[in-house]
Amino acid sequence: MRKSLLILGAATALTCFLALQTDGAAVGPDRGLTPSIAAGIKLEPVLNFDVSGSTLTGPLHHRLTVYNNGLITASQCSGFSGANSAGTGFTTPALAEKLRKELIDAGGLTLPDQNLSVADIPLTTVTVFKGNTNAKAHTFSYWVGFKGYAKIAQIISDFSSAHPTSCQGIFQTQ
């Protein structure tokens, strides 16, 4: 448990450091890592995607967060084996904004919580952020991805599949 918390803490600290920008372009290994204090933190979330709960194979928790500057963070805790991992990666700010627009167009700011009785299915919780510092956000949860929830799940799955190295291969949508 301590090792998992230490890894998560280190990943969070690295994420905060890498999230600083200098000229409006996403920072990263190939874009330079020199943050500008005057530029401040230009980091606003686009999406928080959580899958959490228990299944027949044990508990799991997956999280994907995408930020407007292109930063991607992903973490996973799965099963009784304690297979835990976390990572950060990058996309472009334009693709992060495209993701936001696709989610909004698919109902990401209006879908309600799904009202189903289920067993052994983890709960998926999606938060879509509107897009500025004091942005409004909308959070909804669903058990089974059908109807409007299927479109949201597909958009997130497509984004994740298009960025496997950014997510360091640890994130798979359900």
76-79's contacts with Cβ under 8 Å and 24+ in sequence apart are 76/170, 76/171, 77/4
pLDDT at 126: 97
- One digit per residue, the tens of pLDDT, for the chain of length 174 reads 444 433 444 444 344 444 433 344 444 444 444 444 445 567 889 999 999 998 877 888 889 999 999 999 988 887 777 678 888 888 999 999 999 999 999 999 999 999 988 888 899 999 999 877 677 899 999 998 888 999 999 999 999 888 875 555 444 444
pLDDT at 87: 84
pLDDT at 39: 53
The verdict on domain 43-162 having CATH code 3.40.50.920 is no
Instruction: Please check whether residue 171 is in contact with residue 160, taking contact to mean a CB–CB distance below 8 angstroms.
Output: yes
- From CA 85, how far away is CA 76, in angstroms rounded? 5
pLDDT at 166: 57
pLDDT at 162: 87
What are the residue boundaries of the structural domains of the chain, listed by start? 43-162
pTM for the complete prediction? 0.73
- From CA 67, how far away is CA 80, in angstroms rounded? 31
- From CA 140, how far away is CA 111, in angstroms rounded? 7
